[in-house]
Amino acid sequence: MLALKLSLTPILILGASLASRRWGNAIAGWIVGLPLTSGPVSLFLTLSQGPRFAEQAAAGTLIGTAGQALLAVAYFWAAEWRDWPLAAVAGAVGFFSCGLLLQALALPPPALFVIALVALTAGLAITPRPERTCRAVSLPRWDLPARIVVATTLVVSVTAAAPALGPRLSGIVASFPVFAVVLTIFAHHHQGKEAARLVVRGLMMGLYGFACFFETISLLLARVPAAEAFGAALLAVILVQGLSFRLMRRRRPSAIARLGEERP
C-alpha cells in the first residue's frame, strides 16, 4: 500500500505539472482542479478503511469543493489590496470556515453537490476576468521536486490520519487545494496579482469535474465494486473537464497564451 502511494501520487502530479508547463500556466489553475491528490486519497481510503468509510469521506470532499470556491474568491479579492501572504491567509480562512459550517449542518451528499456547484458558479460570477497580460517568469529547478514532495506527503499523511480524523474530516482535509495555493502564491509573487487571479479563476472552472468525481463516488461506492465506482467517476471528470476546457477557450481563445508559466 505504501509503495502504491509513493509511486502513483508523484506520477500524477508530475504529469499535471509538465502539462501545465507545456501548454502554459494557461490552464494551470484548471489542471489542479482535477482530483490529483484527493482522488488517490479516496482510493487508498477505500482499500484501507473500506467502501463505507471512503463514501463518507467523499461527502467531506464535496464540502471541501465549496470551500475551495470560497478560498478562490477570498484570495481573488484580498489580492486587490494585499500581497500574497495575507491573501493566502484569507483564502485558507475562507476554506476552513466553509468546511466547518457545512460539516456542522451534516447535509447528505446530493445537497452538498448542489451547494458546491452553486458556490463555483457564484464564485466565477463575482470574480471578473482580469484583463492585463501577466509578465513571464522562469521556474526554479526545485519547483517540480517540491510539488512531488508536497503531494506525496499530503496523501501519506491524510491516509495515515484518517482513522483519527473520521471520514468526513478526512475528505475535507484531503480536498484542501495545496497545488492551487502553491501555484497562486508563486504567480502572485513573481507575476503580480493579475496572474494569481487568473489561476484561482481557472481553479474554479476545473472544480466542476472535481465535484462530479466525488458525487459519483458517494453515489456508487457502497453499491458497486470499487473498480466500477472509480471508473465511472473518472469518466465523469473527463467528460466535465472536457466541457469546461471548451468553455474556457470559447470565452477567450488567447487566455492559454497569457495564463501561464512560460516553458522552461
**213-245 residue pLDDT tens:** 999 999 998 888 989 999 999 999 999 988 888
Domain contains 8: no
Domain range spanning residue 152? 22-129+143-258
| The pLDDT of residue 187 is above 90 | no
Q: Which residues contact 22 (CB under 8 A, 6 or more apart)?
A: 263
3-state helix, strand, coil in the chain (%, to 5): 80, 0, 20
pLDDT in tens, 46-94: 888 888 888 888 888 899 999 999 999 999 999 988 888 999 999 999 9
In a domain, 198, yes or no: yes
Please tell me the total count of domains within the chain.
Answer: 1
In a domain, 136, yes or no: no
Question: What is the tens place of the pLDDT at every residue in 146-180?
Answer: 777 877 786 677 667 766 777 777 778 778 887 78
How many Cα neighbours within 13 Å face the side chain of 175?
Answer: 32
Residue 121, domain member (yes or no): yes
Tell me how many degrees the CA angle 83-84-87 measures, rounded to the nearest 5. 90
Confirm whether 80 is domain-assigned. Answer: yes
Q: Is residue 210 part of a domain?
A: yes
pTM of the model: 0.80
